[in-house]
Structure 1
């Protein structure tokens, strides 16, 4: 398969020998649904042999990091630590910790996994006197939840969104995402949320901080141009676009988003890196 390398217009292509840390998306890069993509295990074995630290980032706020640790172990990537899993929920918790003291009440619109992450970060899931409304994907979203969130925000509570994805794919087609819920609450309150997940800088800053690296030497790997690649570039990271997920090379032209390099998948990136 011939892959057209797409560059940003810089004088030199992506220099993989300068990379000392990796942030990777998961769905569309490591797996698609239940299908593990080729040479994923070999790629992470290479990172470990070369002592290149990595983090795995996802806009999914509904699952606890331990859920991802378990799946990674099942597919042959054991011993990943929970701190290496950065969901839009854990990034949101980090943001809230920078703004509020432990023990303050938060009203959450979201799945139990998000509630667990916020509770572990020291916050109390309570509507009364909530200092912030945190909204993520919620498969049990109701008008009553929207009503409570609206009243709290109109009364002065901060409005924070885990991510702005309007939709997400499933076997039946596209389903409403966390961004659709944010849009409804924003329409009812006339308040724009502070959004944490990709492509916003906050999530990448959390990952770079945990990896104790410099963005100029960190590589973001993703399959979505408008979140993984655009966000990585805006945060100052090097970007590797893989064609195993949502977007294609033609989408880069259509969206006018230029990754530093494009690869057919992690196997292609691995072989290129090994020969660098």
Structure 2
């Protein structure tokens, strides 16, 4: 089926930051939008490049604004990274982590040993406590031959304080120092979209990605064969949209406008 109308969409891959909230601040129409999806029985996965927070945090954050969802509907880049590690580094057991505490917890639960030297892989996510020493150790291990893996390549992300550096900024520093390009798991790579689509059991051509970033949510969705919906509540400005070669199938001011168009379409 060629999707030309919103009402033809059978499933959604939904971004979080810049779509559902901005930092700690919820965005307009979140609870009502999920009520709409539940009423229409439209399956969805919230796929976020945020590697620092557990899936339960997304559930709790949505519950505070009246949106009730199950943890199984959340896919984080840390979770996706663990799912992909056996394929990317099949013999890896020892990993050096540049990232938040949660990323280390997820890897430990999956049976990996967190180390500071002699690592089989270097896993990089957002790190609120990044130091030069961490960058130095990671560079040493990558140059020694450890597999270099990034949970996501977001250079920035929206917060209540404005646009701030993301995991991609850390990856860029390590790539420059190690002269090695990372394997990236999160959006815009199609890995997370493929995992989400498989979880929902809906064909990619009947699925749309819903996000705020052209270069991750929209471009990544297109790579995975999905249609795309952009909301203007995150990092994309009208000027950026007009100048970009990456163009979504639909554009809306926010979730309120999207729901209204979908209901009336």
- Normalising by structure 2, we get a TM-score of 0.91
Counterparts in 2 of 1:214-225, with a 5 A limit?
A: 214-225=203-214
Aligned pairs, how many? 264
Contact residue 225 and residue 247 of structure 1 kept, 8 A: yes
Question: Are positions 1:247 and 2:256 aligned together?
Answer: no
* Cα distance between partner residues in 1 of 2:243 and 2:92: 46
Q: How does 1:1-276 map to 2 (within 5 A)?
A: 14-81=4-71, 83-100=72-89, 104-276=93-265
After the TM superposition, list the runs of 4 or more consecutive aligned residues in structure 1 that deviate by more than 6 angstroms.
none
CA contact (8 A) 2:18 2:233 kept: yes
Counterpart CA distance in 1 for 2:187 and 2:68 is 26
* Contact 2:17–2:158 (8 Å) recurs in 1: no
Relative to structure 1, the CA distance from residue 176 to residue 28 in structure 2 (aligned partners, 3 Å threshold; closer, same or farther) is closer
The separation in 1 between residues aligned to 2:260 and 2:70, in whole angstroms, is: 23
Task: Quote how far apart the aligned CAs of 1:30 are.
Answer: 1.4
- 1:128 Cα offset (Å): 4.4
Measure the CA separation in 2 of the matches of 1:14 and 1:248.
24
Determine the C-alpha separation between the residues in 1 that align with 2:91 and 2:66. Answer: 37
Gaps of 5+ in 2: none
Per-residue CA deviations over 1:158-210 (Å, capped at 9, x if unaligned) read 00011112223445444332112111211121110011111111121121121
**SS of corresponding position for 2:180:** coil
Moved more, 13-22 or 197-206: 13-22
- Give the Cα–Cα distance (whole angstroms) in 2 for the partners of residues 218 and 192 of structure 1: 31
